[in-house]
A and B are shown apart, each in its own frame.
Chain A
């Protein structure tokens, strides 16, 4: 049950696009299309941003998009805004009927 691998930090200027990667194995990210992404502002509860690799829940901006290739999932945020500054976590269902999160990525909007 090793954590999925995410970069510790990414940054971008307002209006730019950034991509956060999430690398797993054949037992998690590579096994199912059950990858999801969460945004967490300091002191707040995580918020679901993307589910099942590329689907956005109602109310989430279309500036957020997700994709997956083999064992790596990605979250792309386009048109960066100051309010996007937060921690982002990926998660995947696993072949052991468990769930695993990534270590988290701190997004800084310059």
Chain B
């Protein structure tokens, strides 16, 4: 059974940092491109970032470029998202998902709240 389990969310002050993790199982993680997608409360899905299978190539949405960093540890079957200089508008549920090119597996999401 495919499982993606996110962790690391929580309440953080503006300007703060947080590191999200996504533990994968049930599929070939090391051969899969992985993504982070977020959804602000009551809003739509927004693509955040992706990393290729060996971690050598990454891409980011303009809204997070320079502040967020995606990485992976294939030995641990784990995906990460390091989030720095957090803003109120980063408040959202963050999902990890597998693609390309379609997001076929999704985690349950972890809530990040940026507030003072």
Contacts and interface: CB of A to CB of B under 8 A. Distances in A.
Interface of A: 1, 3, 32, 34, 36, 38, 40, 45-48, 51-52, 57, 87, 89, 91, 93, 96-104
Nearest to A46: B106
Interface in B73-113: 95, 99-104, 106-109
B45 A52 contact: no
B101 A51 contact: yes
B56 to A, nearest CB: 13
Interface residues of B, number: 22
B11 interface: no
Given A46-B103, A91-B47, A91-B102, 18 more contacts: A1-B61, A3-B46, A45-B107, A46-B95, A48-B103, A51-B101, A51-B104, A52-B102, A57-B104, A87-B44, A89-B45, A93-B100, A98-B50, A98-B59, A101-B44, A101-B46, A102-B44, A103-B44
Contact of A101 (B47, B100, B107, B108): B47
Nearest to B63: A1
B62 interface: yes
Contact of A45 (B62, B99, B109): B109
A34 B100 CA distance: 9
A45 B104 CA distance: 11
B100 A48 contact: no
B72 interface: no
A97 B58 CA distance: 9
The 3 A-B pairs of least Cβ separation, nearest first, read: A51-B102, A36-B102, A104-B44
A100 B45 CA distance: 9
B61 A46 contact: no
